[in-house]
Amino acid sequence: MDRPLKKKSSVSEIKARFDIDVERFSNLETGQTATIDAPLAMELITQAAFKSTRSIRRALDIGCGAGNNTIKLSQYAAPFDCDLVDLSLPMLKKARERISAVNTGTIRTFQGDFREADLPEQSYDVIIAAAVLHHLRDDQDWESAFSKIYRLTAPGGSVWITDLVSHETGPVQSMMWERYGEYLCSFGGEDYRAKVFDYIDKEDSPRPVTYQLDLLRKVGFAHVELLHKNSCFAAFGAIKNV
C-alpha cells in the first residue's frame, strides 16, 4: 500500500469496477472471498445492531453492494425502512431486488458517493458501512465522513463497520500483511494474492481500527465497541446517546 493517495483510484474508477462485479457480491453465505472472516463479521455487526438499538425503524446501508448486510439484518429485526447508497447502479438494482424479497419495509436507493448524498440527519436507527470506508483518503476526508455518519444517526442509534484495516506500527503492519498474503495464497494461490494486493494498492487507503475508534468518539459517539479483529480485517461500531 505504498501508492500515494493522489494516485489511488478515482470514484469513477471504483464505480466501474463494481458495475461489472455484481454476482460476486451477491452471495450471503460466503461473503467476499478476499476478506478474512467475512461471514462472521457480517453476522456480528448485524447482531450487534439489533441488540444495541432499541427499535430499528429505519436503516442506512453505505456502499450497500448487492445488499448482503441489510439482508442479514433483516434476519434479526422486524421489517424496517432502509436507504441504500452505492456508486454502482447495477449493485443498487440487485440490492433492491434481494432485500425486497425478505423485508417489507420501504426501500429507497441513492446512486452516488455517500459523502455527497442528500440524506436526512438524525434519522437512522442503524447505519451499516461494510467494506467501503477504506476508500476514504486523507485525515480531513475521514473526519468529514465520520462526522456525517454521526449527524445521520438518530439519538440512541448505532453505526456498525466491517472493513480492511491497517496498523499503527511498521513491524506489526508487515507481520499482518504477510499473514494476510498467506491466507490469500491458501485460498487462490500466489497469482490470487498478487491480484488482490495490486487492487488494494491501487484502490484502498485503510486506517487502523484504533484510529477509527478514536475518530468515532471524536465526532460525538458516546460508546464504541470492537467486535472482532483478525489480521487486516475488523468489525466494530459505536452508539449515539439518546
* DSSP E strands, 63-113: 81-86, 107-111
**Cα–Cα distance, 73 to 35 (Å, whole number):** 19
CA torsion, ordered 162, 168, 170, 173, to nearest 10 deg: -20
Angle at 192 between CA 171 and CA 4, to 5 degrees: 50
**Cα–Cα distance, 71 to 46 (Å, whole number):** 9
Helix (H) or strand (E) holding 62: strand 58-62
How many CA atoms within 13 Å lie on the side-chain side of 222? Answer: 11
Residue-level pLDDT, tens digit, the chain, 242 residues: 578 887 766 777 766 666 556 555 555 554 577 899 999 999 999 999 999 998 999 999 999 999 999 999 999 999 999 999 999 999 999 999 999 999 999 999 999 999 999 999 999 999 999 999 999 999 999 999 999 999 999 999 999 999 999 999 999 999 999 999 999 999 889 999 999 999 899 999 999 999 999 999 999 999 999 999 999 999 999 999 99
Q: pTM for the full model?
A: 0.93
Q: Which domains does the chain have, with CATH numbers?
A: 5-239 (3.40.50.150)
